[in-house]
Structure 1
Amino acid sequence: MRKVLIVDLLAERKALGKLGVRKMIEYLPGHEILLWAPHTDERLNYGFGRVVQRPESVDLIVITGSRKNVTQWENEWMQELSLLVQRTNTPLLGICFGHQIICHALGGKVTRAEKPSEFITDISINKQTRQAVFLHQEFVIESGEMDVIASSEHAPIAVCRHPTKPIFTVQFHPEADEEVINLGFESGEMDGLNASDFESGKERWNFGHMLEEIDYNVE
């Protein structure tokens, strides 16, 4: 059985944490799910996956969003995560904070806006335009080794790909569908978005599209 390591940096949250991870692993049938939350000792009981205290050898790594910030560096676990990014040859995906810390670890720079951004907008990748959910305050201003392939309002470096390694990162949240947004609103984890902000009939970026971008075969 193949394995995926979810670097689960919202393990204490209901919407983009527990439910968001569930949305992602729907695209990974037949994988053992490893959950690593180096930023906290307190996490929700997901009812799925295997909690690990250290990274293990896996077939795919996903770094999620976080309420932590690259510009407010927490040395031990962020340094460990940066070293993982720098040393791994395993296919690697980064979402929001994951996008930021991967770029930072590979020589880029991250800055912090005065106010957080919560919005839905169109993003074009490889001539495919789909809706994407942005929930962030920090953003990448220099991508380091990563090539920039898309930008957006409040995120000039919104999507990156490594030129030689299977690394792909996005500032937006492909796991955030109507169910996630509604739960975020109900739980108080989000307040600037409404599921009705999605434009009806228009395709949306999801986690499956990220897997396609690194040619990851889920079968």
Structure 2
Amino acid sequence: MTEPFTLGILETGRPPEALAGKFPSYAEMFAQMVGATAPEHWKFEYYVALEGELPPSPDTCNAWLITGSKFGAYEDYPWIHALKAFIVKAYVAGVPMVGICFGHQILAEALGGKVIKSEKGWGVGHQAYQWSTTKPDWLAATDLAGQDAFSILAFHQDQVVEVPPQAEVIASNDFCPAAALVYGDQVLSFQGHPEFSADFVADLIEEKRDDVLGASIADKAATSLAQPIDRVAIGAGIVEFLKAREAEWINKKAANAG
């Protein structure tokens, strides 16, 4: 029997209250996305980092995924400081991590980069990103194999403006130069939201239209949702990235046992 591989999901945000009854939580969105192509022996554990709930140790799970959030990775909240400290411990321990949007940003902040509220404003709706010249190996097992670009939905104003020294940009566009990062073979992060459906973003745009976005940005973003996105392929790519980390973990255990 294959030993379970546990992905811990660190929940750092929630859908707006007005949408909570209509859509899954952010943690559930990720479990659905990863679960669509993950091996059957994988399982998920959930921690509400937003409320100060963190695992007792970085090796409590085999890998970690950090969700999106309405908060800024640079904000002065106890739970944000605690999460940064946990990230550093996990990184030093060699535990794999994946970050999306806020997760992408707080990984960068914790590991030596810088995040700001960008003067470029909001990036909302359909966003196309170009892969760097060295495309990730795990793309070969997805529908994006051989493609130079991908598209997913986005909803952010904060951006990574200084990339940590150990990280490499693997995808970008003019609006967001650090749209996806890798830290060696251990960490992967995206600014966009592969877990978000067009239906959810459409409702989120309307929820934020008046008090956050304004009509011009909201209208343009809503119109963009008709364009195709690669959310399924990026989700599968995240699974492939973690499967490679799982194989390394299995080999390491076997070597230690021997």
Say whether the 8 Å CA contact 1:5–1:55 is kept in structure 2: no
The whole-number CA distance in structure 1 between the counterparts of 2:169 and 2:105 is 13
What residue is the counterpart of 1:49 in the other structure? none
Deviation string, structure 1 residues 161-202 (Cα, Å, up to 9, x no partner): 012x4101110101112343355457x3677343862424x6
The whole-number CA distance in structure 2 between the counterparts of 1:84 and 1:53 is 8
Amino acid at match of 2:235: F
What residue is the counterpart of 2:239 in the other structure? 211
The whole-number CA distance in structure 2 between the counterparts of 1:214 and 1:195 is 34
Deviation string, structure 1 residues 123-155 (Cα, Å, up to 9, x no partner): 233263221211111000111121112212331
Residue 32 to residue 19, structure 1, CA distance change in 2 (3 Å) = closer
Say whether the 8 Å CA contact 2:54–2:83 is kept in structure 1: no
TM-score (norm 2): 0.68
What residue is the counterpart of 2:88 in the other structure? 86
Residue 29 (structure 2) pairs with residue 20 (structure 1):
yes
What residue is the counterpart of 1:48 in the other structure? none
Say whether the 8 Å CA contact 1:121–1:131 is kept in structure 2: yes
What residue is the counterpart of 1:172 in the other structure? 192
Comparing 17-26 with 173-182, greater Cα deviation is found at 17-26
Residue 117 to residue 24, structure 1, CA distance change in 2 (3 Å) = same
Q: Secondary structure at the match of 1:133?
A: strand
Amino acid at match of 1:208: A
Comparing 52-61 with 106-115, greater Cα deviation is found at 52-61
* Superposition deviation, residue 71 in structure 1: 2.7
TM-score (norm 1): 0.78
What residue is the counterpart of 1:68 in the other structure? 71
What residue is the counterpart of 1:46 in the other structure? none
Say whether the 8 Å CA contact 1:7–1:62 is kept in structure 2: yes
- Look at both structures and tell me which one has the larger radius of gyration over its CA atoms: 2
Give the structure with the higher percent strand: 1
RMSD of the TM alignment (CA)? 2.9
Q: Secondary structure at the match of 2:75?
A: coil
The whole-number CA distance in structure 2 between the counterparts of 1:78 and 1:30 is 31
The whole-number CA distance in structure 2 between the counterparts of 1:131 and 1:35 is 28
Say whether the 8 Å CA contact 2:101–2:190 is kept in structure 1: yes
What residue is the counterpart of 1:59 in the other structure? 62
What residue is the counterpart of 1:47 in the other structure? none
Q: Secondary structure at the match of 1:155?
A: coil
What residue is the counterpart of 2:141 in the other structure? none
The whole-number CA distance in structure 2 between the counterparts of 1:189 and 1:5 is 30
Say whether the 8 Å CA contact 1:7–1:64 is kept in structure 2: yes
Say whether the 8 Å CA contact 1:178–1:195 is kept in structure 2: no
Comparing 146-155 with 101-110, greater Cα deviation is found at 146-155
Q: Secondary structure at the match of 1:154?
A: coil
Amino acid at match of 1:156: P
Q: Which runs of 5+ in 2 are unaligned?
A: 136-145, 248-258
Amino acid at match of 1:84: F
Residue 141 (structure 2) pairs with residue 140 (structure 1):
no
Give the structure with the higher percent helix: 2
The whole-number CA distance in structure 2 between the counterparts of 1:53 and 1:171 is 23
Amino acid at match of 2:225: D
Amino acid at match of 1:61: W
Q: Which runs of 5+ in 1 are unaligned?
A: 42-51
Q: Secondary structure at the match of 2:227?
A: coil
Q: Secondary structure at the match of 1:181?
A: helix
